[in-house]
């Protein structure tokens, strides 16, 4: 209820009470019965939820996303109810606000909280909650908490329409998700190259379970833990200072720096011409932060962490027909000297590529529909721990199909999708030479295939 309406109702109620008790005429309204009107109005206002203070607005937003996920690892199968993944792609709520300082300048803030205890990124054969049994999500796991609520972002910013925006706090770096975000197919949450749905599931080969999960073949080698999943090597919010330029003719750029030390730069383009919609992004990030999220090679403070990550993604759509194609490529660079390996001994530089194609259209009164097929491949993106165990190369393939239906009346999405994973790992690393510790034989090891089907919905607010 708006403040002036609230005041009017309160005043009307009090005046009516005044007349009923005293029988006063219109000329007698100066009596004591209404002397506390302002105080009563103030009390009512104090108990009413308001959208910010008198200067700064407040907006609550987010979405709820849940799905039924059926999986089969070639030996065991089961059905789980899961969220759709961490870091802005799963269930969350956010508080944001802004205030106009001058016609050209505003100040604002963002606080974003993840709210889930069934993060698909952390599922495994042994648990339908999460891989470490905390009942929390990936962000809470990274932050050492077992809570289903976890702080994802908290920052303030100053923005000028002519000069750009500066923001400070826990937020995405300039490179975070840059290769993913150009995807305008309407199926970004359901199908992207990060392995949210299978990351924590243990692989199988040689008739038994191995000592590593599927996500260990799509990782950023400098970290044994959550340094990145599926090639998104700068894919988590960090404490940093970020600058974003204004958009000029469809082009924009960003740069960020985070403590001890992480830096990133990126550039983007989005536009439409002659019935062709185009979006693209490119980014590079580098980190020497040995005490950040994840477990650096050789342990924190080893004095040798130096990793880089290049990523690019593009989306093209023929608007009249709805035909589209999206592609992404990432490359990891490792310059690490760690006592656990010896000088100059590092993982090979791995890479990943992913392509999705399909058609969009509004073929029912419910809303738009997206039908897609996808294929991706991760090459030599195994973890540092696997390198230490004797692994020298790996290949992981993923492919699938899906359909996403928008329901305009509820501003929601529903989907049905199938995905298939297969891979092989080679063990001939003379440094360690003992792949048996992770369940592999010497030479090439074919992994048993993994399939999943998922049906779910997303409702924003």
Q: What is the pLDDT, as a whole number, of residue 300?
A: 44
Q: What is the pLDDT, as a whole number, of residue 41?
A: 60
- How far is residue 363 from each of residues 146, 321, 322, 406, 458, measured CA to CA in Å? 44, 12, 11, 11, 20
Cα distance between residue 283 and residue 178, in whole Å: 7
Q: Dihedral angle at the C-alpha atoms of 120, 122, 127, 133, nearest 10 degrees?
A: -130
The length of the chain, given as a count of residues: 461
User: Does residue 41 come out as left (phi exceeding 0), alpha (psi in the -120 to 50 range) or beta?
Assistant: alpha
Show the tokens assigned to 320.
């009249």
Cβ–Cβ under 8 Å, residues 324 and 404: no
Q: What is the pLDDT, as a whole number, of residue 233?
A: 76
**What average pLDDT values come out for the chain (461 residues) when binned by 10 residues?**
44 42 42 60 58 82 96 97 86 95 96 90 85 61 69 96 97 92 95 90 94 88 49 80 97 93 94 96 85 50 68 97 96 64 68 96 96 96 82 94 97 97 86 76 93 97 94
Q: What is the pLDDT, as a whole number, of residue 144?
A: 58
Q: Element (H or E) spanning 40, and its range?
A: helix 37-46
Cα distance between residue 275 and residue 165, in whole Å: 31
Q: What is the pTM of this model?
A: 0.83
């Amino acid at each position: 209820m708006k403040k002036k309406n609230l005041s009017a109702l309160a005043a009307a109620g009090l005046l009516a009470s005044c007349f009923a008790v005293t029988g006063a005429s219109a000329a007698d309204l100066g009596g004591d019965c209404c002397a506390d009107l302002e105080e009563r109005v103030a009390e009512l206002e104090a108990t009413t939820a308001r959208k910010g203070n008198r200067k700064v607005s407040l907006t609550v937003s987010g979405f709820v996303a849940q799905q039924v996920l059926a999986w089969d690892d070639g030996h065991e199968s089961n059905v789980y109810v899961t969220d759709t993944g961490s870091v802005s792609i799963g269930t969350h709520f956010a508080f944001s606000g802004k205030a106009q300082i001058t016609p050209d300048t505003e100040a604002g803030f963002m606080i974003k909280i993840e709210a889930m205890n069934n993060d698909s990124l952390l599922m495994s054969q042994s648990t339908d909650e999460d891989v470490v049994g905390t009942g929390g999500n990936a962000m809470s796991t990274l932050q050492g908490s077992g809570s289903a609520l976890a702080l994802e972002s908290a920052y303030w910013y100053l923005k000028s329409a002519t000069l750009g925006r500066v923001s400070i706090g826990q937020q995405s770096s300039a490179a975070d998700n840059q290769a993913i975000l150009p995807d305008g197919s309407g199926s970004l949450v359901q199908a992207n190259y990060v392995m949210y749905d299978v990351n924590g599931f243990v692989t199988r080969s040689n008739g038994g379970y191995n000592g590593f999960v599927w996500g260990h073949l799509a990782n950023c080698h400098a970290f044994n833990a959550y340094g990145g999943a599926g090639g998104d090597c700068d894919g988590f919010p960090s404490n940093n200072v970020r600058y974003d330029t204004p958009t000029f003719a469809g082009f924009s750029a960003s740069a960020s720096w985070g403590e001890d030390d992480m830096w990133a730069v990126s550039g983007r383009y989005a536009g439409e011409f002659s019935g062709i919609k185009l979006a693209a992004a490119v980014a590079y990030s580098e980190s020497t932060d040995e005490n950040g999220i994840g477990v650096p090679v050789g342990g924190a403070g080893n004095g040798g962490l130096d990793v880089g990550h290049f990523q690019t993604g593009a989306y093209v759509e023929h608007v009249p027909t709805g035909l589209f194609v999206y592609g992404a490529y990432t490359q990891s660079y490792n310059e690490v000297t760690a006592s656990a390996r010896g000088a100059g001994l590092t993982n090979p530089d791995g890479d990943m590529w992913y392509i999705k194609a399909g058609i969009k259209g509004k073929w029912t009164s419910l809303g738009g529909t997206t039908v897609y097929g996808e294929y991706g491949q991760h090459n030599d993106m195994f973890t540092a721990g696997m390198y230490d165990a004797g692994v020298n190369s790996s290949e992981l393939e993923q492919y699938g199909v899906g359909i996403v239906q928008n329901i305009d009346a509820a501003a929601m999405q529903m989907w049905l999708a199938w995905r298939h994973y297969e891979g092989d790992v080679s063990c001939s690393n003379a440094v360690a030479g003992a792949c048996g510790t992770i369940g592999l034989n010497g030479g090439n090891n074919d992994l048993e295939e993994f399939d999943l089907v998922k049906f779910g919905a997303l409702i924003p607010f």
